[in-house]
Amino acid sequence: MLACHPAKMLSFNRLISDGDLVIVYEKHDSMKAVTVCEGSVLQNRFGVFKHSDWIGKPFGSKVFSSKGGFVHLLAPTPELWTMVLNHRTQILYIADISFVIMYLEVVPGCVVLESGTGSGSLTTSLARAVAPSGHVNTFDFHEQRAESARADFERTGLSSLVTVKVRDIQGEGFPDDFSGMADSVFLDLPQPWLAIPSAAKVLRNDGTFCSFSPCIEQVQRTCETLRTHFTDIRTFEILLRTYEVRQEKMQSSREDGNDSNGSLPSKRRQCSDGSYVLGSCPSISSVMARPCGEARGHTGYLTFARVKCVS
């Protein structure tokens, strides 16, 4: 997924080959991760697609099924991965993820500790941010989830940047060998306050901390516990509002020819199917935007803090 080797870089010349992970794009909300395998086929409502037709085409190509339907084949990115991964738990989405990485000040070379791993949605973006020289150590107490996450990082080509371990972080804290080593700690746990003393121990001077919790009661306890070792404690909520864009025709209230704005696109006027018998009321075509009707109303609260600096 990442261009850890310059040869892996996205390029005009990079062609899809056997074994590549591609994101099959049907629509904005309908995508699927597929590992290309000579001889395999993908079947969806648009027909049957032969993988062998994909090999040798550039990423971003439109490919056709036996029935003439099409999909696009995209190169994977952490954003696309978050939209297609297997949900084994609740996951973080782009708005929270982006803000977490910026606010934790994660940059290449950083060492980040995370718990729990969950479905690895955040981990994937953390790995991108610390690459090429940093590392993400992620812990989940659920053996199977850890195993599936490991398999996913193998598939997305991130395994050299991420280590998944099985551990009860609320019970045992982070391993002692990380003492004073972490640039940032991220928690997405049911009782994050239990892991805070350990987080303070593993963080370097001025290191950054973040905890994600859906409920305000969790935030309340987290903040109370943070005050002992942390400063700069701030809690946020971030949401995204998306917009739909349409070109619409509306009838002008004015008689034809009186429009001083001169914004009448004449070609739009004649493309009606004959229903515009009232030729004296011209229609105006314009591109308009409005917020989408439904949106996520809440994901969770993000609480950030910084280890107190002892100098």
Closest separation between CB of residue 27 and another protein, Å? 9
Does position 267 interact with another protein (CB under 8 A)? The reply is: no
CB-wise, 12 or 294, nearer to another protein? 12
DSSP per-residue codes, 55-103: TTSBTT-EEE-TTS-EEEEE---HHHHHHHS--SS----HHHHHHHHHH
Count CB-CB contacts under 10 A for residue 193: 20
Residues 6+ apart with CB under 8 A from 150: 159, 164
Does position 58 interact with another protein (CB under 8 A)? The reply is: yes
CB-wise, 241 or 267, nearer to another protein? 241
Does position 152 interact with ligand SAM (CB under 6 A)? The reply is: no
Instruction: Decide which of another protein, ligand SAM, none touches 243; Cβ closer than 5 to 8 Å per partner kind.
Output: another protein
Widest CA span in the chain: 81
The total number of residues shown for the chain amounts to 311
- Rounded Cα gap, residues 14 and 164, in angstroms: 31
Stretch near ligand SAM under the rule CB under 6 A, chosen from 41-49, 114-122, 219-227, 254-262 = 114-122
Query: Residues at the annotated binding site?
Result: 119-122, 140, 168, 188
Stretch near another protein under the rule CB under 8 A, chosen from 56-64, 139-147, 251-259, 270-278 = 56-64
Closest separation between CB of residue 107 and another protein, Å? 6
CB-wise, 134 or 300, nearer to ligand SAM? 300
Among 149, 182, 223, 282, binds another protein (CB under 8 A): 223
Instruction: Decide which of ligand SAM, another protein, none touches 145; Cβ closer than 5 to 8 Å per partner kind.
Output: ligand SAM
Does position 309 interact with another protein (CB under 8 A)? The reply is: yes
Contact 206, 309 (CB under 8 A): yes
Does position 138 interact with ligand SAM (CB under 6 A)? The reply is: no
- Rounded Cα gap, residues 167 and 171, in angstroms: 9
H/E stretch holding 289: strand 283-291
Instruction: Decide which of ligand SAM, another protein, none touches 192; Cβ closer than 5 to 8 Å per partner kind.
Output: none
Four-residue CA torsion sign, 180, 199, 149, 142: positive
Instruction: Write phi, then psi, for 44 (nearest 5 degrees).
Output: -145, -170
Instruction: Decide which of ligand SAM, another protein, none touches 119; Cβ closer than 5 to 8 Å per partner kind.
Output: ligand SAM
Q: At what angle do helices 121-130 and 143-155 cross, to 10 degrees?
A: 50
Does position 189 interact with ligand SAM (CB under 6 A)? The reply is: yes
Closest separation between CB of residue 201 and ligand SAM, Å? 16
Stretch near another protein under the rule CB under 8 A, chosen from 186-194, 252-260, 269-277, 301-309 = 301-309
Closest separation between CB of residue 217 and ligand SAM, Å? 17
Q: Is 52 helix (H, G, I), strand (E, B) or coil?
A: helix
Q: Which of residues 67-106 bind ligand SAM (CB under 6 A)?
A: 89-92
Paired tokens of 147: 């195993």
Stretch near ligand SAM under the rule CB under 6 A, chosen from 20-28, 63-71, 115-123, 151-159 = 115-123
Contact 63, 41 (CB under 8 A): no
- Rounded Cα gap, residues 298 and 215, in angstroms: 10
Among 190, 197, 265, 291, binds ligand SAM (CB under 6 A): 190
Does position 158 interact with ligand SAM (CB under 6 A)? The reply is: no
Closest separation between CB of residue 180 and ligand SAM, Å? 22
132: Cα separation from own chain's centroid: 20
